[in-house]
Amino acid sequence: MMYCVKCRAKREGKNAQSVTMKNGKKATKAVCEVCGTTMFKIGGN
């Protein structure tokens, strides 16, 4: 579950992909299934 800032709700994201940030930490990037905003979750991979 990720938090959508625009909807102000926790949602499952679609097209989720694992990314590595500049500092080497893992993160997950996805798109909100309701409004289409990009969501970002640090850690938890």
Residues 26 and 18: beta-carbon distance below 8 Å: yes
pLDDT, greater one: 43 or 21: 21
pLDDT for the residue 43? 85
Confidence grade of residue 45 (pLDDT, cut at 50, 70, 90): low
Confidence grade of residue 44 (pLDDT, cut at 50, 70, 90): low
Rounded to 5 degrees, what angle do the CA atoms 2, 25, 39 make? Answer: 25
2-36: per-residue pLDDT in tens?
999 999 999 999 999 999 999 999 999 999 999 99
Confidence grade of residue 37 (pLDDT, cut at 50, 70, 90): very high
CA-to-CA distance for 35 and 19, rounded, in angstroms?
22
Instruction: Give 6-44 as a 3 state SS string.
Output: CCCEEECEEEEEEEECCCCCEEEEEEECCCCCEEEEECC
